[in-house]
């Protein structure tokens, strides 16, 4: 696969320099017939960029799938895989240059709303997929839908759930389950004393952005209200969530989590050290290839329940097509073909990618309901209903450029880390984070 070299432009710097505004224009796969349009006869090329998947088998499947489609349609397809932490900078660089890949795959949050000025409307594609495979989910809708004008800046591909993953033998020894945040702290402290700490990152990556939002929501806090117009972070519920996170850090974790990336907690539990993480099943899949004994001892459950609710952040993958793309027609036709074969993509991800359309993968879902590689075979069955306890960053309100920017600024993890490390009280860190969020909301409101 070729890799295009683009100047490294941070998303924050790009937004500042360009002043982006909101004003902008279940069964066997169905094999689509080869598509060759007049425009493609001239270009005969399609370039795609997306993150390097945490289940390597998926990238191998996707590359072969894309190449097969290209060969049938006499189109040269290039797929570039980049580390997930580099996606935001790559998007900023391409938008700044007005040149890049035809099909851009975002992972995590941000993109569709921050870059809507630069992206074509995908509404017709979403409607056609809904006719075939059922209504788009709430999560899928938030990934690309613009509430103000009814356009779609991106096509929702899949969301990534974040269940709790625990070492069953270790928790059995202390006679507890990490099914609530309180039990996780109390039991985690006991297991840390035995050399098996809890592992939840407080660094700058997708994992802490999703996990700590789940904690915030479970305590009744949130960044914004249901309308998406008001920052409501400064509340007693948020303060209590911050105090809890500081206690969990001090009693059940180690200082290493302050500098972790998205692979760190996977490695922590796969090594046999950690007693608990919050993570997609990629950590479990990796353990299966490294140490079957450890993998058999890793069990999957819903994320911890808080005083108010059980809710966890979800990461997401969605595709946008730049207005400056050379091959928009090819990009759209590829997405249609890809969606018609989405059940195969789900299987290739080993149950990691979760559908955004109601009937793409009917229940009982393959792999999750019955996984012959797992002991027991129904170990992953709880994940079939993960949409019920998963949400993306804007919960309980809609997604927006402001919410996406706050996510990319790591404001929520930083708020918790400031108190966990003792640099700020819970009250002061919440006030600091609220000021950061309000400034971002005001900036985008002024641009509307």
pTM of the model: 0.88
Q: How many CB atoms lie within 10 A of CB 270?
A: 23
Give the mean pLDDT per block of 10 residues along the chain (448 residues). 37 44 32 44 82 95 98 97 93 95 89 92 97 95 89 96 98 98 98 98 96 98 96 98 98 98 96 98 96 98 98 95 97 98 97 96 96 98 97 92 94 98 98 98 91
> How far is 420 from 258, CA to CA, in rounded Å?
10
- What integer pLDDT is reported at residue 336 of this predicted model? 97
Distances 207 to 266, 314, 357, 369, 399 between C-alpha atoms, Å: 11, 9, 24, 25, 18
- What integer pLDDT is reported at residue 44 of this predicted model? 87
- What integer pLDDT is reported at residue 445 of this predicted model? 94
- What integer pLDDT is reported at residue 26 of this predicted model? 31
Alpha helix locations (H) across 165-316?
A: 168-173, 181-193, 206-218, 236-252, 264-270, 282-290, 292-297
What domains appear along the chain, each with residue ranges and CATH number? 11-160+314-391 (3.40.190.10), 165-312+409-447 (3.40.190.10)
> How far is 148 from 166, CA to CA, in rounded Å?
42
Question: Is residue 223 a contact partner of residue 393, using CB atoms and an 8 Å limit?
Answer: yes
Helix 401-408 vs helix 11-18: crossing angle, to nearest 10: 140
CA contacts within 13 A on the Cβ side of 216: 30
């Amino acid at each position: 696969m070729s890799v295009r070299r683009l100047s490294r432009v941070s998303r924050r710097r790009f937004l500042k320099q360009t002043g982006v505004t909101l004003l902008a224009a279940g069964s066997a796969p169905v094999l689509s017939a080869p598509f060759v349009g007049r425009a493609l006869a001239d270009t005969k090329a399609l370039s795609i960029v997306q993150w390097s998947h945490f289940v390597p088998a998926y990238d191998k499947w996707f590359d072969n799938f894309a190449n097969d489609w290209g060969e049938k349609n006499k189109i040269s397809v290039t797929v570039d895989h980049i580390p997930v932490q580099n996606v935001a900078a790559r998007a900023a660089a391409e938008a700044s240059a007005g040149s890049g890949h035809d099909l851009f795959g975002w992972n995590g949050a941000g993109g569709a709303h921050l870059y809507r000025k630069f992206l074509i409307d995908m509404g017709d594609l979403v409607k056609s997929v809904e006719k075939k495979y059922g209504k788009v989910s709430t999560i899928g809708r938030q990934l690309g839908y613009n509430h103000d004008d009814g356009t779609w800046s991106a096509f929702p591909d899949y969301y990534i759930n974040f269940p709790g993953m625990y070492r069953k033998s270790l928790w059995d020894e202390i006679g507890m389950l990490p099914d609530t945040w309180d039990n996780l702290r109390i039991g985690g402290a006991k297991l840390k004393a035995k050399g098996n700490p809890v592992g939840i990152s407080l660094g700058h990556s997708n994992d802490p952005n999703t996990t700590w939002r789940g904690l915030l929501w479970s305590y009744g806090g949130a960044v914004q209200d249901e309308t998406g117009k008001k920052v409501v972070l400064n509340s007693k519920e948020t303060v209590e969530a911050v105090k809890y996170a500081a206690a969990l850090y001090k009693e059940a974790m180690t200082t290493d989590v302050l500098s972790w990336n998205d692979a760190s907690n996977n490695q922590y539990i796969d090594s046999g050290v950690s007693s608990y993480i919050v993570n997609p099943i990629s950590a479990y899949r990796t353990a299966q290839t490294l140490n079957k004994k450890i993998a058999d001892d890793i069990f999957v459950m819903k994320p911890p329940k808080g005083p108010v609710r059980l809710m966890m952040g979800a990461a997401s993958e969605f595709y946008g097509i730049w207005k400056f793309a050379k091959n928009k027609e090819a990009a759209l036709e590829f997405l249609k073909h890809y969606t018609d074969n989405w059940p195969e993509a789900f299987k290739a991800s080993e149950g990691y990618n979760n559908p955004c359309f109601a009937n793409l993968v009917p229940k009982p879902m393959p792999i999750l309901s019955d996984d012959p590689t797992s002991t027991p075979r129904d170990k992953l069955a709880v994940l079939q209903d993960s949409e019920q306890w998963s949400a993306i960053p804007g919960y309980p309100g809609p997604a927006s450029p402001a919410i996406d920017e706050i996510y990319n600024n790591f404001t929520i993890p930083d708020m918790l880390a400031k108190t966990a490390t003792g640099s700020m009280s819970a009250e002061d860190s919440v006030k600091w984070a609220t000021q950061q969020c309000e400034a971002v909301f005001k900036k985008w409101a002024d641009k509307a």
